[in-house]
Structure 1
Amino acid sequence: MTDPSRAIEEGTTETRGDAHTLRYVLRLPQPVEKVWTALATPDGLRGWLATAEVFEPRLGGAVSLRGLGGGRITAWDVERVAEYSTEGRGRVRFHLEPGAPEGTTVRFTHEFEGELRDPGWRARFERLLKALNA
């Protein structure tokens, strides 16, 4: 099992007025194809983030994640970039890069406005690690 303390870099926060950007870097031993499945398919998302009640895997496609709200897929480049914008929760982006030797680096960004709060991404990423290792 991947050690979360080594796989998940501490997140950073940038604030400008009422707008916030959270960033994390995940270094995962799994290949891009397996990580993409976890981040960009209904079955994969259900395993660690939320049930996708609606999921149209294409740029502009509808997405509705239980507990996180509905919105659109605002960036989509298969096995490279998945970005979801949801009403009231902002925009989350997963940018995948092949790592060495066969792993994957995920550059994660969450942009939102309003009160700065901890949206629980670290705990979610720990669930992602467990799902990938299952």
Structure 2
Amino acid sequence: MPKQIFVNLPVADLHKARSFYEAIGAVNNPQFSDDTVACMVVSDTIYVMLLTHPRWATFTPKPIVDAHAASEVMLCLSAEDRAAVDAMVETASAHGGKADVNPVQDHGFMYGRSFEDVDGHIWEIMFMDMSQMPQG
């Protein structure tokens, strides 16, 4: 069985965050969602758990970082091609996110862009064509 990853993110407004993730292609799994958490399915192996601040506090006593002001983690998803990279970043921007918070990466064989979600969490979207990767 392939390993799965559950990315847990604190969110200020669960409805707004859920709507944002649905706009960029994630699907809510109501079996693991309620008024304090939304389980957003990105793929068969990737899940984003959006937790309200009070729910987050039940898991750790550490303070929640303001991701608009400080950085703790940067998440990266692969894309099918360059157009898919652009489409996801543009969709994120159109639904309350902030596009290209990090410099665009274009190395020929590898192309990537980034966005912040509505809570300031940074996502990179990357396409790599390994057949075009320089040798050596």
What's the TM-score, normalizing by structure 1? 0.33
Computing the radius of gyration over CA atoms, which structure comes out larger, 1 or 2? 2
Which of the two has greater strand per residue?
Answer: 1
